[in-house]
Amino acid sequence: MKAVDILIKNANEIVTLNGPNRPRKMKEMNELSIIENGSVAIDNGAIVDVGKNLTYNSDKIINAKGKIVLPGFVDPHTHVVFAGSREFELDMKLKGLSYMDILKSGGGIFYTVEKTRNATKDQLIQQAKNRLDKMLRYGTTTCEAKSGYGLDTKTELKILEVNKKLNESHPIDILSTFLGAHAIPKGKSADEYTNEIIEEMIPKISHLSKFCDVFCEEGIFTVDQSKKILEAGKTHGLIPKIHADEIVDTGGASLAADIGAISADHLLMSSDDGLRKMAEKGVIGVLLPGTPFSLMQELYAPARKIIDMGVAVALATDLNPNCWVENMQFMIQLGCLKMKMTPSEAITAATFNAACAIDLSDRIGSVEVGKQADILVLDCPNHKHIPYHFGVNLVEKIIKNGVVL
Protein backbone atom coordinates (compact mmCIF):
# COMPACT_ATOMS: atom_id res chain seq x y z
CA MET A 1 0.00 0.00 0.00
CA LYS A 2 1.26 3.43 -0.92
CA ALA A 3 1.89 5.83 1.98
CA VAL A 4 0.50 9.37 2.01
CA ASP A 5 0.85 12.25 4.48
CA ILE A 6 -2.84 12.39 5.40
CA LEU A 7 -5.79 10.12 4.73
CA ILE A 8 -9.32 11.31 5.47
CA LYS A 9 -11.77 8.43 5.43
CA ASN A 10 -15.40 7.43 6.08
CA ALA A 11 -16.76 10.93 5.47
CA ASN A 12 -20.54 11.00 5.16
CA GLU A 13 -20.04 13.34 2.21
CA ILE A 14 -17.03 14.57 0.32
CA VAL A 15 -18.33 17.74 -1.30
CA THR A 16 -15.87 17.72 -4.21
CA LEU A 17 -17.29 20.33 -6.61
CA ASN A 18 -15.57 18.29 -9.27
CA GLY A 19 -16.30 19.77 -12.71
CA PRO A 20 -15.05 22.05 -15.45
CA ASN A 21 -12.51 24.72 -14.53
CA ARG A 22 -14.71 27.73 -15.22
CA PRO A 23 -17.26 29.65 -13.15
CA ARG A 24 -20.30 27.49 -12.49
CA LYS A 25 -23.58 29.06 -13.50
CA MET A 26 -27.30 28.31 -13.42
CA LYS A 27 -27.94 24.57 -12.84
CA GLU A 28 -24.21 23.90 -12.49
CA MET A 29 -24.24 25.81 -9.21
CA ASN A 30 -26.41 23.02 -7.78
CA GLU A 31 -24.00 20.25 -8.80
CA LEU A 32 -21.69 19.59 -5.87
CA SER A 33 -20.45 16.17 -7.10
CA ILE A 34 -20.77 14.61 -3.68
CA ILE A 35 -19.09 11.28 -2.87
CA GLU A 36 -20.84 9.49 -0.02
CA ASN A 37 -18.75 7.52 2.45
CA GLY A 38 -15.66 8.94 0.79
CA SER A 39 -11.95 9.34 1.35
CA VAL A 40 -9.32 11.92 0.42
CA ALA A 41 -5.59 11.19 0.20
CA ILE A 42 -3.20 14.11 0.66
CA ASP A 43 0.51 14.10 -0.02
CA ASN A 44 3.13 16.83 -0.34
CA GLY A 45 0.52 19.56 0.11
CA ALA A 46 -1.68 18.33 -2.71
CA ILE A 47 -4.77 16.17 -3.13
CA VAL A 48 -3.60 12.90 -4.71
CA ASP A 49 -6.74 10.78 -4.63
CA VAL A 50 -10.47 11.20 -3.95
CA GLY A 51 -12.98 8.37 -3.91
CA LYS A 52 -14.68 5.59 -2.02
CA ASN A 53 -12.74 3.06 0.10
CA LEU A 54 -9.28 4.35 -0.73
CA THR A 55 -6.51 2.17 0.67
CA TYR A 56 -3.36 4.05 1.63
CA ASN A 57 -1.02 3.87 4.56
CA SER A 58 -0.71 7.05 6.55
CA ASP A 59 0.61 8.19 9.92
CA LYS A 60 -2.20 10.67 9.95
CA ILE A 61 -5.64 9.15 9.46
CA ILE A 62 -8.65 11.36 10.03
CA ASN A 63 -11.85 9.44 10.62
CA ALA A 64 -14.63 11.69 9.33
CA LYS A 65 -17.51 9.31 10.06
CA GLY A 66 -20.72 11.29 10.55
CA LYS A 67 -19.01 14.42 9.16
CA ILE A 68 -18.51 16.13 5.84
CA VAL A 69 -15.46 17.25 3.91
CA LEU A 70 -15.41 20.49 1.93
CA PRO A 71 -12.85 22.57 0.07
CA GLY A 72 -11.60 25.45 2.25
CA PHE A 73 -13.79 28.53 1.97
CA VAL A 74 -12.53 31.31 -0.28
CA ASP A 75 -13.48 34.87 0.70
CA PRO A 76 -13.12 36.93 -2.49
CA HIS A 77 -13.98 40.39 -1.10
CA THR A 78 -12.56 41.75 2.16
CA HIS A 79 -11.16 44.99 3.54
CA VAL A 80 -9.35 43.09 6.29
CA VAL A 81 -6.57 45.65 6.87
CA PHE A 82 -7.85 48.69 8.77
CA ALA A 83 -7.27 50.33 12.14
CA GLY A 84 -9.76 51.03 14.92
CA SER A 85 -13.40 50.08 15.14
CA ARG A 86 -16.75 51.84 14.83
CA GLU A 87 -19.05 50.07 17.27
CA PHE A 88 -20.28 53.52 18.42
CA GLU A 89 -22.13 53.80 15.10
CA LEU A 90 -24.51 51.01 16.04
CA ASP A 91 -26.39 53.24 18.49
CA MET A 92 -26.77 55.82 15.75
CA LYS A 93 -27.95 53.19 13.26
CA LEU A 94 -30.51 51.96 15.81
CA LYS A 95 -31.81 55.51 16.20
CA GLY A 96 -32.40 55.56 12.47
CA LEU A 97 -29.55 57.83 11.43
CA SER A 98 -28.50 57.31 7.83
CA TYR A 99 -24.98 56.54 6.68
CA MET A 100 -24.65 60.18 5.58
CA ASP A 101 -25.74 61.43 9.04
CA ILE A 102 -23.14 59.17 10.65
CA LEU A 103 -20.48 60.40 8.25
CA LYS A 104 -21.26 64.03 9.14
CA SER A 105 -21.02 63.34 12.86
CA GLY A 106 -17.46 62.05 12.50
CA GLY A 107 -18.08 58.36 11.83
CA GLY A 108 -18.02 56.45 8.59
CA ILE A 109 -15.11 55.77 6.29
CA PHE A 110 -13.12 58.92 7.12
CA TYR A 111 -12.91 57.87 10.77
CA THR A 112 -11.25 54.62 9.64
CA VAL A 113 -9.02 56.46 7.14
CA GLU A 114 -7.74 58.72 9.95
CA LYS A 115 -7.02 55.76 12.24
CA THR A 116 -5.37 53.79 9.43
CA ARG A 117 -3.16 56.70 8.36
CA ASN A 118 -1.97 57.09 11.95
CA ALA A 119 -1.34 53.39 12.59
CA THR A 120 2.11 51.85 12.19
CA LYS A 121 2.64 48.86 9.95
CA ASP A 122 3.07 46.67 13.01
CA GLN A 123 -0.20 47.87 14.50
CA LEU A 124 -2.03 47.14 11.25
CA ILE A 125 -0.43 43.70 11.04
CA GLN A 126 -1.43 42.87 14.63
CA GLN A 127 -5.05 43.95 14.12
CA ALA A 128 -5.46 42.23 10.75
CA LYS A 129 -3.76 39.06 11.99
CA ASN A 130 -6.35 38.76 14.70
CA ARG A 131 -9.11 38.91 12.05
CA LEU A 132 -7.31 36.43 9.79
CA ASP A 133 -6.99 34.00 12.71
CA LYS A 134 -10.76 34.13 13.14
CA MET A 135 -11.36 33.72 9.41
CA LEU A 136 -9.19 30.62 9.42
CA ARG A 137 -10.95 29.14 12.43
CA TYR A 138 -14.24 29.56 10.56
CA GLY A 139 -12.82 27.78 7.53
CA THR A 140 -11.51 30.48 5.20
CA THR A 141 -8.23 29.28 3.71
CA THR A 142 -7.78 31.94 0.99
CA CYS A 143 -8.97 35.53 0.81
CA GLU A 144 -8.75 38.69 -1.19
CA ALA A 145 -7.78 41.87 0.71
CA LYS A 146 -8.27 45.43 -0.51
CA SER A 147 -6.45 48.62 0.31
CA GLY A 148 -8.61 51.74 0.44
CA TYR A 149 -8.39 53.20 3.95
CA GLY A 150 -5.42 55.37 3.03
CA LEU A 151 -6.66 57.49 0.13
CA ASP A 152 -3.11 58.78 -0.26
CA THR A 153 -0.14 57.09 -1.89
CA LYS A 154 1.83 56.62 1.31
CA THR A 155 -0.94 54.88 3.25
CA GLU A 156 -2.22 52.83 0.31
CA LEU A 157 1.35 51.52 -0.11
CA LYS A 158 1.53 50.83 3.63
CA ILE A 159 -1.67 48.75 3.52
CA LEU A 160 -0.54 46.75 0.50
CA GLU A 161 2.84 46.10 2.13
CA VAL A 162 0.96 44.87 5.22
CA ASN A 163 -1.06 42.53 2.96
CA LYS A 164 2.21 41.17 1.55
CA LYS A 165 3.69 40.61 5.02
CA LEU A 166 0.52 38.87 6.19
CA ASN A 167 0.45 36.68 3.10
CA GLU A 168 4.00 35.58 3.87
CA SER A 169 3.44 34.99 7.59
CA HIS A 170 -0.16 33.78 7.94
CA PRO A 171 -1.51 30.37 6.84
CA ILE A 172 -4.27 32.08 4.82
CA ASP A 173 -3.24 32.93 1.26
CA ILE A 174 -3.99 36.60 0.63
CA LEU A 175 -4.42 38.21 -2.79
CA SER A 176 -4.20 41.99 -2.90
CA THR A 177 -6.46 44.50 -4.57
CA PHE A 178 -5.66 48.19 -4.93
CA LEU A 179 -8.78 50.16 -3.98
CA GLY A 180 -7.39 53.69 -3.81
CA ALA A 181 -10.73 54.64 -5.40
CA HIS A 182 -12.70 53.74 -2.26
CA ALA A 183 -13.81 57.31 -1.45
CA ILE A 184 -12.79 60.84 -2.34
CA PRO A 185 -10.42 62.28 0.27
CA LYS A 186 -11.40 65.55 1.92
CA GLY A 187 -10.20 68.67 0.12
CA LYS A 188 -10.04 67.08 -3.35
CA SER A 189 -12.52 66.87 -6.19
CA ALA A 190 -13.38 63.50 -7.70
CA ASP A 191 -11.59 64.46 -10.93
CA GLU A 192 -8.47 65.64 -9.12
CA TYR A 193 -8.29 62.46 -7.09
CA THR A 194 -9.02 60.28 -10.15
CA ASN A 195 -5.99 61.85 -11.87
CA GLU A 196 -3.86 61.32 -8.77
CA ILE A 197 -4.84 57.63 -8.70
CA ILE A 198 -4.01 57.20 -12.38
CA GLU A 199 -0.82 59.23 -12.57
CA GLU A 200 0.73 58.74 -9.16
CA MET A 201 -0.75 55.82 -7.27
CA ILE A 202 -1.20 53.03 -9.81
CA PRO A 203 2.39 53.18 -11.14
CA LYS A 204 3.70 53.04 -7.55
CA ILE A 205 1.49 50.25 -6.21
CA SER A 206 0.95 47.92 -9.17
CA HIS A 207 3.79 45.56 -8.13
CA LEU A 208 1.93 44.92 -4.85
CA SER A 209 -1.52 44.13 -6.33
CA LYS A 210 -3.18 41.63 -8.56
CA PHE A 211 -6.48 43.48 -8.93
CA CYS A 212 -7.68 47.08 -9.21
CA ASP A 213 -11.08 47.97 -7.76
CA VAL A 214 -13.28 51.09 -7.80
CA PHE A 215 -16.25 52.21 -5.70
CA CYS A 216 -18.51 53.09 -8.63
CA GLU A 217 -21.49 54.73 -6.94
CA GLU A 218 -23.57 57.91 -7.07
CA GLY A 219 -21.66 60.69 -5.32
CA ILE A 220 -18.40 58.71 -5.27
CA PHE A 221 -16.83 57.65 -8.59
CA THR A 222 -18.87 57.97 -11.80
CA VAL A 223 -18.85 55.26 -14.46
CA ASP A 224 -16.56 57.48 -16.52
CA GLN A 225 -14.03 58.02 -13.71
CA SER A 226 -14.22 54.33 -12.75
CA LYS A 227 -13.53 53.34 -16.34
CA LYS A 228 -10.45 55.58 -16.54
CA ILE A 229 -9.06 54.18 -13.28
CA LEU A 230 -9.66 50.54 -14.27
CA GLU A 231 -8.16 51.12 -17.75
CA ALA A 232 -5.07 52.61 -16.13
CA GLY A 233 -4.89 49.60 -13.81
CA LYS A 234 -5.10 47.29 -16.82
CA THR A 235 -2.15 48.95 -18.53
CA HIS A 236 -0.18 48.15 -15.36
CA GLY A 237 -1.32 44.52 -15.37
CA LEU A 238 -4.08 44.83 -12.76
CA ILE A 239 -7.27 42.83 -13.30
CA PRO A 240 -10.41 45.00 -12.88
CA LYS A 241 -13.01 44.48 -10.16
CA ILE A 242 -15.87 46.85 -9.34
CA HIS A 243 -18.02 47.77 -6.32
CA ALA A 244 -21.13 48.08 -8.49
CA ASP A 245 -24.70 49.30 -8.01
CA GLU A 246 -24.82 48.90 -4.23
CA ILE A 247 -27.02 51.91 -3.44
CA VAL A 248 -28.11 53.22 -6.85
CA ASP A 249 -27.95 51.70 -10.34
CA THR A 250 -25.22 53.77 -11.96
CA GLY A 251 -24.43 51.23 -14.67
CA GLY A 252 -21.65 49.50 -12.75
CA ALA A 253 -22.66 46.03 -13.96
CA SER A 254 -22.48 47.16 -17.60
CA LEU A 255 -19.11 48.78 -17.02
CA ALA A 256 -17.83 45.52 -15.52
CA ALA A 257 -18.87 43.68 -18.69
CA ASP A 258 -17.48 46.35 -21.04
CA ILE A 259 -14.11 46.58 -19.34
CA GLY A 260 -13.66 42.82 -18.87
CA ALA A 261 -13.75 42.82 -15.06
CA ILE A 262 -13.28 39.46 -13.38
CA SER A 263 -16.07 40.34 -10.93
CA ALA A 264 -18.66 42.95 -10.09
CA ASP A 265 -19.54 43.04 -6.41
CA HIS A 266 -22.71 44.00 -4.42
CA LEU A 267 -25.22 44.28 -7.35
CA LEU A 268 -28.24 45.18 -5.19
CA MET A 269 -29.62 47.67 -7.70
CA SER A 270 -28.17 46.47 -11.03
CA SER A 271 -30.37 46.72 -14.12
CA ASP A 272 -31.45 43.59 -16.00
CA ASP A 273 -29.52 44.92 -18.95
CA GLY A 274 -26.32 45.17 -16.91
CA LEU A 275 -26.78 41.68 -15.47
CA ARG A 276 -27.43 40.25 -18.93
CA LYS A 277 -24.18 41.78 -20.17
CA MET A 278 -22.33 40.33 -17.18
CA ALA A 279 -23.73 36.87 -18.01
CA GLU A 280 -22.67 37.21 -21.65
CA LYS A 281 -19.14 38.29 -20.77
CA GLY A 282 -18.71 35.82 -17.91
CA VAL A 283 -18.25 38.46 -15.19
CA ILE A 284 -18.72 36.84 -11.78
CA GLY A 285 -21.27 38.44 -9.46
CA VAL A 286 -19.85 38.59 -5.93
CA LEU A 287 -22.72 39.00 -3.46
CA LEU A 288 -22.09 40.41 0.02
CA PRO A 289 -25.14 39.75 2.20
CA GLY A 290 -23.32 40.77 5.41
CA THR A 291 -23.52 44.39 4.30
CA PRO A 292 -27.32 44.79 4.14
CA PHE A 293 -27.52 42.62 7.28
CA SER A 294 -25.27 44.96 9.27
CA LEU A 295 -27.06 48.02 7.85
CA MET A 296 -30.37 46.49 8.98
CA GLN A 297 -31.62 46.72 5.43
CA GLU A 298 -34.59 44.79 4.07
CA LEU A 299 -33.10 44.77 0.61
CA TYR A 300 -30.52 42.16 -0.42
CA ALA A 301 -29.03 41.47 -3.84
CA PRO A 302 -31.60 39.57 -5.96
CA ALA A 303 -29.53 36.38 -6.04
CA ARG A 304 -32.31 34.25 -7.52
CA LYS A 305 -32.72 36.54 -10.49
CA ILE A 306 -28.97 37.01 -10.92
CA ILE A 307 -28.36 33.24 -11.00
CA ASP A 308 -31.35 32.57 -13.23
CA MET A 309 -30.08 35.17 -15.72
CA GLY A 310 -26.88 33.16 -16.06
CA VAL A 311 -24.41 35.11 -13.94
CA ALA A 312 -22.01 32.88 -11.98
CA VAL A 313 -22.39 33.96 -8.36
CA ALA A 314 -19.84 33.98 -5.54
CA LEU A 315 -20.31 34.95 -1.89
CA ALA A 316 -17.96 37.02 0.28
CA THR A 317 -17.97 38.67 3.70
CA ASP A 318 -17.03 42.26 2.72
CA LEU A 319 -15.25 42.28 6.12
CA ASN A 320 -14.77 45.97 6.98
CA PRO A 321 -15.46 48.28 9.95
CA ASN A 322 -19.05 48.77 8.77
CA CYS A 323 -19.67 45.02 8.32
CA TRP A 324 -17.36 43.20 10.69
CA VAL A 325 -17.70 39.52 9.98
CA GLU A 326 -15.03 36.88 9.40
CA ASN A 327 -17.37 33.95 8.90
CA MET A 328 -18.17 32.48 5.46
CA GLN A 329 -20.56 29.92 7.01
CA PHE A 330 -22.72 32.90 7.97
CA MET A 331 -22.61 34.16 4.36
CA ILE A 332 -23.92 30.77 3.21
CA GLN A 333 -26.68 31.10 5.80
CA LEU A 334 -27.60 34.62 4.67
CA GLY A 335 -27.34 33.50 1.04
CA CYS A 336 -30.01 30.88 1.67
CA LEU A 337 -32.19 32.49 4.33
CA LYS A 338 -32.15 36.07 3.00
CA MET A 339 -31.43 35.64 -0.71
CA LYS A 340 -33.19 32.31 -1.43
CA MET A 341 -30.11 30.56 -2.78
CA THR A 342 -30.20 26.78 -2.46
CA PRO A 343 -27.68 25.24 -0.03
CA SER A 344 -25.75 23.81 -2.99
CA GLU A 345 -25.66 27.16 -4.82
CA ALA A 346 -24.44 28.94 -1.70
CA ILE A 347 -21.70 26.35 -1.11
CA THR A 348 -20.54 26.60 -4.74
CA ALA A 349 -20.57 30.40 -4.32
CA ALA A 350 -18.39 30.23 -1.18
CA THR A 351 -15.83 27.81 -2.62
CA PHE A 352 -15.33 27.17 -6.34
CA ASN A 353 -16.95 30.32 -7.76
CA ALA A 354 -15.23 32.39 -5.08
CA ALA A 355 -11.91 30.94 -6.26
CA CYS A 356 -12.86 31.92 -9.83
CA ALA A 357 -13.57 35.48 -8.64
CA ILE A 358 -9.92 35.82 -7.61
CA ASP A 359 -8.53 33.89 -10.56
CA LEU A 360 -7.35 30.89 -8.53
CA SER A 361 -9.73 28.13 -9.60
CA ASP A 362 -6.90 26.14 -11.16
CA ARG A 363 -5.36 25.72 -7.69
CA ILE A 364 -8.16 25.85 -5.11
CA GLY A 365 -11.95 25.77 -4.66
CA SER A 366 -12.63 22.06 -5.08
CA VAL A 367 -11.54 18.68 -3.74
CA GLU A 368 -9.95 17.31 -6.90
CA VAL A 369 -6.75 15.45 -7.65
CA GLY A 370 -3.87 17.84 -8.27
CA LYS A 371 -5.33 20.72 -6.30
CA GLN A 372 -3.74 22.36 -3.28
CA ALA A 373 -4.90 20.48 -0.16
CA ASP A 374 -7.02 23.23 1.44
CA ILE A 375 -9.70 21.11 3.07
CA LEU A 376 -12.21 21.37 5.90
CA VAL A 377 -13.90 18.73 8.02
CA LEU A 378 -17.26 20.00 9.26
CA ASP A 379 -19.06 18.47 12.21
CA CYS A 380 -22.42 17.95 10.52
CA PRO A 381 -23.98 14.95 8.79
CA ASN A 382 -24.59 16.54 5.37
CA HIS A 383 -24.00 19.78 3.48
CA LYS A 384 -27.56 21.04 4.02
CA HIS A 385 -26.71 21.56 7.67
CA ILE A 386 -24.43 24.49 6.81
CA PRO A 387 -27.29 26.95 6.14
CA TYR A 388 -29.62 25.09 8.51
CA HIS A 389 -27.55 24.99 11.69
CA PHE A 390 -26.43 28.55 12.32
CA GLY A 391 -24.84 30.59 15.09
CA VAL A 392 -22.11 28.04 15.77
CA ASN A 393 -18.84 27.15 14.11
CA LEU A 394 -19.30 23.84 12.27
CA VAL A 395 -15.63 23.66 11.23
CA GLU A 396 -13.83 20.96 13.18
CA LYS A 397 -10.57 20.51 11.26
CA ILE A 398 -8.67 22.73 8.88
CA ILE A 399 -6.06 21.42 6.49
CA LYS A 400 -4.12 24.19 4.74
CA ASN A 401 -1.62 23.32 2.04
CA GLY A 402 -1.59 19.73 3.26
CA VAL A 403 -0.92 20.64 6.90
CA VAL A 404 -3.46 19.98 9.67
CA LEU A 405 -3.72 23.19 11.67
Residues forming contacts to Zn ion in the complex (CB under 5 A) are 318
3-class secondary structure per residue, 27-60: HHHHCCCEEEEEEEEEECCEEEEEEECCCCEEEE
Q: Which is nearer to Zn ion, 40 or 287 (by Cβ)?
A: 287
**3-state SS, residue 346:** helix
Please give the backbone phi and psi of residue 276, each rounded to the nearest 5 degrees, phi first: -60, -40
CB closer to Zn ion out of 32 and 214: 214
In whole angstroms, what is the distance from residue 172 CA to residue 126 CA?
Answer: 15
Compute the Cα dihedral for 59, 64, 65, 71 and give only its sign.
negative
- CB-based closest residue to Zn ion: 318
- Tell the smallest beta-carbon distance from residue 293 to Zn ion (Å): 14
Give the Cα separation of 94 and 296 in Å (integer).
9
Task: Give least dist CB 289 to Zn ion, A.
Answer: 13
With respect to Zn ion, which residue has the nearer C-beta, 316 or 399? 316
By residue count, the chain amounts to 405
Residue nearer to Zn ion on the CB measure, 124 or 367: 124
* Nearest of 103, 113, 241 to residue 179 by alpha carbon: 241
Considering the complex, what minimum distance in angstroms separates the CB of residue 7 from Zn ion? 39
Give the whole-angstrom CA distance, residue 361 versus residue 363. 5
Residue 77 or 227 with smaller CB distance to Zn ion = 77
Query: Which of residues 14 and 287 has its CB atom nearest to Zn ion in the complex?
Result: 287
The least distance separating Zn ion from the CB of residue 291, rounded to whole angstroms, comes to 8
Q: How far is the CB of 182 from Zn ion (least distance, A)?
A: 8
> How far is Cα of residue 132 from the mean position of the Cα atoms in its chain?
13
CB of 163 to Zn ion, least distance (A): 15
